[in-house]
Amino acid sequence: MIFLFLGFNDPYKSSRERMVNIQIRARGVKNEFVLKAMSRVPRHLFVPKSRINEAYNDGPVPIGYGQTISQPFIVAYMTEVIEPEKCKRVLEIGTGSGYQAAILAEIVDSVFTIEIITELYKESKERLEKLGYKNIKVKNADGYYGWKEYAPFNAIVVTAAAEFVPPPLIEQLKDGGKMVIPVGSPFYTQNLVLIEKKSGKIYSKNLIPVRFVPFVRGK
Amino acid sequence: MKVKINSYQIILFILSAIVISNQISLIQYFAYQQWYNFASVIISLALFGFGVSGLIISRLKKETLDELNQTIQRILILCGFYIPLSILIEKYIIGSFDSYLVFFDIGETIKFFLVVFNYSIPFCLLATLIGLIFTVLAEKIGTLYFLNLIGSGLGGILVVYLLWFFEPQKIYLLNGFQISLLSLIFYYINFEKRRVTLLTISLIVVTVNFIFLFIPIDNIPSQFKLLSRVKNFPDAKVVFEKSTPYGKVEIISSSLLRYSPGLSLNFIDEIPKGEAIFLNAELAGFKVANPIETNLKFLQKSTLSFPFVLKQMNHVLLLNASGGIEINRAMINNVDTVYLTEKNPVLIKIISSHLEKNESNRIKIINEDPRIFLEKSKLAFDFIFHPVIEPVGYSAGLYSVQEKFLFTQEAFQKIYEALNENGYFSISCYIDHPPKTFLKLLNTISAIRDVAGRKISRNQILAINNWNVITIVLKKGAFNSEEIEKAEKFSLENQFDILMHPLNRMNLRFNSVIDTQILELIEKILKNKNGEQFEYVFNLSQSTDDKPYFSNFIIPSKLKIYLEQISLRNLTYSEVGYFLIWLAFVVVLVFSAILIFFAFNFIKVKSKNLKLILLIYFSTIGLAFMFIELSLIQKFTLVFSSDVFAISFVITLLLISSGIGSFFSNKISYFFRKFHSVFILISLSLMLFLFFSQQIVDLLIELNGFAKFFISGLLIFPLGFFMGMPFPSGIRKFCQMDINAVPFAWAINGSFSVMGSAGSIILLVNCGFIFTILSAAVLYFLLGIFIFIKEYFAKG
């Protein structure tokens, strides 16, 4: 879905491949759809120009307004856990730069993404349009209410740590659907929590990423 | 050279007040913009200007009276000019920086050091003026040091008062205006021959400073502080703002603001909108916009409401109002009377205005810090309640070197004692990864002892969790079957899990957010009867009044494991406060080494031997003084329940008493005959203070208002009185040997004072109050021995 010319003469192609191999595949992300999407989407176009050299680093990149574009591994891992290949519609809360939406759009049928900060909304909408993503709908609104017109969703990706899960989002999640929420500060995602809706009941569980090897505890 | 001593003394007095005022106002300025830890570190580093001033003094022209007056006049003008300029440089040239990124973004690191350098210049200029006056009037050092310290002390009092009315940056600018006025006054007193250029420049600087007083200068918080993020919401509006010595209070209104920690995932109703209350740009609480007309049912569907299900609560003590929403929670659960303790009167006003008139007889608001209230109150409660202890999305690492006297072992014991028989205490926190906060809370709770001195047992603890919040409930007595049944029912209805069950019937049905190794650790903590420490990668040991740093989880000896498993980058993000104090210490060490090198090579002192003695003498008193000052600030943060009040009070009193000590140093040394005896006396008074410190603090906490200040003053005064003697006595003694000893001593003392300030924070966090005071006592004692040996051989 990205214009073909990006594939050619793309000076960042090798950086992206290194990112996928060293930061993502080596840490246990196996889903081929995700790996392919991560190696196709030009992450450097989603970071501020002044930070373009950091785009493929193994860490989050500030994008202004107190927001960051998540570490590549976290983006990949969040995408993998919702099993995107089985999803038709995915809702993202917190578009930010639009990078996570672009990764999802590479795999699923439709991505609906909501951003509250008007400036970020405008920038990401323009960026995603320029990159030719026709299956992403961006809205400048309060993520609390989700996007009722397009509900229910197979999966919901919340991109920033949340204090509570808004009831409308639970309602808009399909039965059997998955919601993923990061835990931690803007620069250090310590964990991801997966929330699943099964026969009307809601379950949550921690997803310990490979790099957070359990500590040596107890004697 | 005959100088107009009075004008020099007045300048010294006012400048000393301005130095402290600048220090405290800039700490407050950066505490708002960044985080409190960073503010202290920035200003500690900026104080390096004091060390550098010694070098400058040795190079300044001061041979004739005219040269000296011109030098002083120029520095005053420069300082008056640079203070408003420093704000402009920070805002428009360096640009705002984010301390959160200081460790891994080289651009931010450079900005950090540029900011430090920028603000160290006024300190350097002020210290140069003070040091210069010390040098030229060295024979009057007792009086000068007295004025220096009294001025500093009064500056401390004044700045706290001004913070009720002005924002810190305004106070800083006001200081610039005062200095520029001072330059004008100095000119008229000291220059008989008119110098048009100097006068014109002085007038221009006064005018510029005057204009700056009326220009609004914003202090914009870091983009990562919650206030900044909330202000980005399209309809966010600041509906209230007020500067206080506790920090700036702001209320933000937005249709997007909602607050509901611990909410059940099966809650399907509306969560009402409200207003968020911020203190120094960090969330201090939340209030529902219109509680009477709003459906507050969501408050009952939270882990935090769990204790209310257990029985009808009549008397409830709320340890943190969270802006009023927790009062709503208590009210909706039909509590008879709620006591709320809050130390900031502005927050009290906000909460009171939020309450309905018909509720006011059920709610007792007490303008007191919760810990102090617990120490003083004779009341007993059915339920003592503390809401979630940290904002979501932030690691406790931001607060790792901030004293939290409400979360110490002693505070928890007081809470337990304030419960009625079969009463409850509950506290909630977000679940962090790897788990630290709730494990430390649990460990601290499990150390509580009953009247008979027995540790509480596991059948008194119950904890439930949702996907990201844990609420721990401690009962004064064992949970009975009826309560357990209610707990199980409440959990099932809301799809919560019982993480700690009094009968060990743990049931993690809905939320698999705690892994099995942590569950084993919880078991160990609950079964621990002998106070053993657990082997865990983070520090879970109970924080105490000696080491009240609840949010410090780092164990320095486990650094290798952290680096292997979390990576340095993530570690510094998650424990940023702790690493920052080390960064500051390393920077101070490097700068000190450079400065001492320059002092050794560029300040001419008669002999190398004298230099060495000066180094040993002034470095020791610089270090020891700061160890004591910072330790007392830590202890008095508990007594006055505010870091700003503690800083101002301790600095003020210590400096005033030291000033009086220095004034009498010349006369009193006749009584002490031997120079070394002063040091032995300081060591002994420190040991005495240490021995009775617990009783002293207990006594002070019990006191109110004036009595608290008066008795605290009486206790600090003798210590400060003797601590004020070594500096002027040393200057007097060594300057007889060589007048250049003064700038050399000033440079050494300045560098080591900064080193002492950075070092004492590390000692306090890692080793505690007792150890730090003990270190100061040992330093003074060793210096006493050193002087004794010197005196002995000198006689020989």
Judged by CB atoms closer than 8 Å, whether chains meet at B261 and A213 is answered as no
Task: Check residue B62 and report its DSSP letter.
Answer: -
Residues of A designated as active site? 70
Q: Report the amino acid identity of residue B87.
A: I
Say which residue, A122 or B520, is predicted with more confidence.
Answer: A122
Widest distance between CA atoms in chain A: 58
Task: Please indicate whether, in this complex, the C-beta atoms of A204 and B512 are within 8 angstroms of each other.
Answer: yes
Asked if B25 and B568 touch (Cβ cutoff 8 Å), the reply is no
Contact between residue B634 and residue B403 where contact means Cβ atoms under 8 Å apart: yes
Using a CB-CB cut-off of 8 Å, the residues of chain A touching B271 are 144, 164, 166-167
Nearest-10 crossing angle of helices B608-640, B726-737: 170
Residue B524 C-alpha, separation from nearest chain A C-alpha, in angstroms: 9
Residues from chain A contacting residue B535 (CB–CB below 8 Å): 217-219
Between chains, do B433 and A117 touch, taking CB under 8 Å as contact?
A: no
* A30–chain B Cβ distance below 8 A for any pair: no
Three-state DSSP at B220 gives coil
Pick the residue from chain A with its C-alpha nearest to B515: A206
CA-to-CA distance for B477 and B480, rounded, in angstroms? Answer: 9
Inform me whether the C-beta atom of residue A205 falls under 8 Å from chain B C-beta atoms: yes
Contact (CB, 8 A) for B331 and B308: no
Phi/psi class of residue A138: alpha, beta or left (left: φ > 0; alpha: ψ in -120 to 50)? beta
The answer to whether A158 touches A96, Cβ cutoff 8 Å, is no
Rounded-to-integer distance, Cα B756 and Cα B209, Å: 34
| DSSP 3-state of B141 | helix
B258, B268, B573 ranked by CB distance to A171: nearest: B268
Closest residue in chain A to residue B467, using alpha carbons only: A204
**Which residues of chain B does A161 touch, with a Cβ-Cβ cutoff of 8 Å?**
392-393
Give Cβ neighbours of residue B680 (< 8 Å, ≥ 6 apart).
B780, B781, B784
Q: Across the interface, do A164 and B263 touch by the CB < 8 Å criterion?
A: yes
Where is B595: in which H helix or E strand? helix B576-602
Tokens of B216: 């609004």
Query: What pLDDT is recorded for position B460?
Result: 95
Shortest CA distance to B99 belongs to which of B33, B29, B167?
B33
B574–A188 CB contact, under 8 Å = yes
Q: Which residue from B435, B438, B461 is spatially nearest to B536, judged by alpha carbons?
A: B435
Q: Does domain A10-207 have CATH number 3.10.180.10?
A: no
Contact B21, B160 (CB under 8 A): no
Q: What is the chain A residue with the closest CA to B533?
A: A218
Q: Is the ipTM here above 0.85?
A: yes
Nearest residue in chain B measured CA to CA from A120:
B232
Contact B535 A185 (CB under 8 A): no
How many whole angstroms separate alpha carbon B216 and alpha carbon B169? 10
As given in the structure block, the two tokens for residue B230 are: 């909330």
Cis-peptide, bond into residue B548, ω within 30° of zero: no
Q: Sorting pLDDT into bands at 50, 70 and 90, what band is A5?
A: very low
> Best of A140, A187, A213 to disrupt the B interface by mutation (most B CBs within 10 Å)?
A187
Cα angle, residue B364 at apex, residues B360 and B367 outer, rounded to 5°: 125
Cα–Cα distance measured from residue B33 to residue B466, given in angstroms and rounded to the nearest whole number:
34
DSSP track, B153-203: HHHHHHHHHHTTTS-HHHHHHHHHHHHHHHHHHHHHHH-SS--HHHHHHHH
Neighbours of A49 (CB within 10 A): 7
Beta-carbon separation of A206 and B433 below 8 A: yes
Residue A185 has a CB neighbour count (10 Å cut-off) of 23
Q: Is A48 on the interface with B (CB under 8 A)?
A: no
Classified as helix, coil or strand, B747 is helix
Tell me the percentage of chain A whose pLDDT exceeds 70.
89
The predicted structure's pLDDT at residue B323: 78
Q: Quote the minimal CA–CA distance from A124 to chain B in Å.
A: 16
Cross-chain residue pair A215–B565, CB shorter than 8 Å: yes
Find residues 89-118 of chain B whose CB sits inside 8 Å of chain A: 98, 100-101, 104
B573 in A contact zone (CB under 8 Å): yes
- Decide if A205 and B513 are in contact by the 8 Å CB cutoff: yes
Which residues, numbered 255 to 284 in chain B, qualify as contacts with chain A under a Cβ-Cβ cut-off of 8 Å? 255-256, 258-263, 265-271
Domains identified in chain B and CATH numbers:
1-221 (1.20.1250), 312-554 (3.40.50.150), 555-796 (1.20.1250)
Cβ distance B565 to A213 less than 8 Å, yes or no, reads yes
Residues near B414 by Cβ (< 8 Å), separated by ≥ 6?
Answer: B371, B374, B375
| Rounded CA separation B273/B266 (Å) | 19
Q: Which residues of B touch A142 (CB under 8 A)?
A: 255-256
Hey, are the CB atoms on B260 and A160 less than 8 Å from each other?
A: no
Alpha-carbon gap, residue B186 to B196, rounded angstroms: 14
3-state secondary structure B284-304: EEEEECCCCCCCCHHHHHEHH
Tokens of B5: 């001593």
Nearest C-alpha of chain A: how many angstroms from B265?
6
**Residues of chain B numbered 631-650 and touching chain A (CB < 8 Å):** none
Q: Which residue of A has its CA nearest to B101?
A: A187
Q: Does B468 touch chain A (CB under 8 A)?
A: yes
Contact B513 A187 (CB under 8 A): no
A54 vs B322 pLDDT, higher one: A54
Q: What is the mean pLDDT of each run of 10 residues along chain B (796 residues)?
A: 72 92 90 80 76 78 76 93 94 83 83 90 91 84 84 87 94 96 89 82 93 91 88 91 90 91 92 90 82 81 94 91 83 90 87 71 88 92 91 57 89 96 95 87 91 88 94 96 94 93 83 84 82 79 92 87 75 77 87 86 80 91 93 89 79 81 70 71 90 87 82 86 87 78 86 89 92 95 88 67
Which residue in B has a C-alpha nearest to residue A64's C-alpha? B223
B432 close to A (CB below 8 A): yes
CB atoms within 10 A of CB B196: 7
When CB atoms are compared, the residue of A186, A188, A204 closest to B570 is A188
Burial class of residue B142 (count of CB atoms within 10 Å of its CB; 0-12, 13-18, 19+): buried
| B234/A contact by beta carbon, under 8 A | yes
Chain A positions touching B467 (Cβ under 8 A) are 165, 193, 195, 204
Residue B668: per-residue pLDDT: 62
Query: In this complex, do B229 and A65 lie within 8 Å of one another by their Cβ atoms?
Result: yes
Q: How far is A183 from chain B (nearest CA, A)?
A: 7
- Concatenating the DSSP letter of every residue in B445-473 gives HTT-B-TTSPBP-GGGEEEEE-SSEEEEE
Q: Which of A118, A184, A186 sits opposite B224 (nearest CB)?
A: A186
Using an 8 Å Cβ cutoff, are A193 and A205 in contact?
yes
pTM of the full structure: 0.88
Q: In Å, how far are B232, B328, B580, B585 from B287, measured between CA atoms?
A: 20, 9, 34, 41
Q: Do B561 and A215 touch (CB under 8 A)?
A: yes
Q: Which two tokens stand for residue A158?
A: 């919340």
- Distance (Å) from the C-alpha of residue A108 to the closest C-alpha of chain B? 26
Tokens for B468? 């990201």
Query: What pLDDT is stored for residue B356 in this prediction?
Result: 66
The alpha-carbon gap from A19 to the nearest alpha carbon of chain B, in Å, equals 17
